[in-house]
Amino acid sequence: MALLLNNDDMKRVLTAQMTREALQVAYRDLVSGEAVCRPRIDLRIPTSSPGQCYQWGTMEGGSTAGYFAIRMKSDVVYEQEYLGVRTQEKFAGRPGLFCGLILLTRIDTGEPVALINDGYLQHLRVAADGAIGTDVMARKGPAALGMLGSGGMARAHVEALMQVREIKRIRVHSPTSENCLRFAEEMAEKYGVETEALDDPRQVYRGADILAACTDSALPVIRGAWLEPGMHVVSVGGRPDSAARARFDRTLRLGSAPAPVGRPELATADEYLAYLARPDDPLWADQRFGKDAVVTGYGDHVLLADIMRGQAQGRTADEQITYSERGNIQGAQFYSVAAVAYEAAVKRGIGRELPAEWFLQDIRD
């Protein structure tokens, strides 16, 4: 039997702490060679609707610990202007619905053991990355948190960051004032922390020890001119602008996918690789998602692997402006977090059982 686990199931079995600990194990396994993954790959096809493209994205990984997973996303993607901000939007079926699935298999038998909606898990695993990077790179002690964005990803980041630093104050800005106010009220009530919703994004930077950008902006939102000495920066969407990249004194990269066997020249630091149908279509020139994959890594670059080996340090001075990024190891994240969530669901009898014969066949492929 395999388990079908939806987002409500994930909320019952998966916690921010479990997610962070699973990722830390996966990163150690990547360093030791016990785990493997590949970069995210997107295929994009123009649709019959102007300005919209179909995007299929996958990332995969597994380890000798026993599990493999592929995460699959099926979206119609487009950009729009909203309250003066250019955002990237997506849907599957109709606006408000999304298709993201994780297929988890057991490496000793090859059989599928779970099919998981990726929404809740996705928020927790991205936020856990932010917390791991913050723990290594941010200044020690109580911290003021500046938030750009007030959606589900922002909420997950607050919870994750609370585990690695004592957050003494939160200031938040997002284009929709109602959402921003709701977020501030919720965070203040849930965590007992002074939280202020601000109309001016510039004010979010003032006095912040940690700046987290959790937005769907298609354009950079982290302004280099506004960064302050000693700040640590986390970005999910709305990347740093060129001035911010120039001001990062030290950048932590959590990892890089290995090169294919025997083809070291194919190793890449790109966060993702994209392939286009109808490559000369004007759609790709007009949209952010149609451009080349972004090569990450800014400032004085340090790898988490080197820190784990005792060969490097994270932050080396309190006044440094630091930045942490995932790299292109998303595949390792999904197998590791999906595995702990699946095992927790089995122990608690959560999820719907799917017959094995739905996945297996007697014709050799």
What digits encode the pLDDT tens for the residues 196-238? 999 999 999 999 999 999 988 877 889 999 999 999 999 987 7
- Count other C-beta atoms under 10 Å from residue 260's C-beta: 11
What pLDDT is stored for residue 159 in this prediction?
97
Strands 143-148 and 112-117, by their bridges, are unpaired
What pLDDT is stored for residue 350 in this prediction?
98
Q: Taking Cα atoms as reference points, which of 96, 113, 38 lies closest to residue 268?
A: 38
Mean pLDDT of the chain: 93
Spell out a b/e string for 24-58, using b for 16 or more CB atoms within 10 Å of the CB, else e.
bbbbebbbeeebbbbbbebebebeeeeebbbbebb
Q: Which residues contact 134 (CB under 8 A, 6 or more apart)?
A: 161, 164, 165, 210, 232, 234, 324
* pLDDT confidence bin for 290, thresholds 50/70/90: very low
What pLDDT is stored for residue 326 in this prediction?
87
CATH of domain 134-327: 3.40.50.720
CATH of domain 2-121+330-358: 3.30.1780.10
Decide which of 109 and 289 is more confident: 109
What pLDDT is stored for residue 216 in this prediction?
80
* 3, pLDDT greater than 80: yes
What pLDDT is stored for residue 220 in this prediction?
84
What digits encode the pLDDT tens for the residues 51-95? 999 999 999 999 999 999 999 999 999 988 876 677 889 999 999
* 98, pLDDT greater than 90: yes
- Count other C-beta atoms under 10 Å from residue 241's C-beta: 17
Mean pLDDT, to the nearest integer, of 9-24?
97
- Report the distance separating Cα 178 and Cα 172, nearest Å: 12
- Report the distance separating Cα 127 and Cα 276, nearest Å: 30
pTM over 0.95: no
* 252, pLDDT greater than 60: yes
Helix or strand holding residue 195 (H, E): strand 194-197
Mean pLDDT, to the nearest integer, of 232-250?
91
Domain ranges for the chain: 2-121+330-358, 134-327
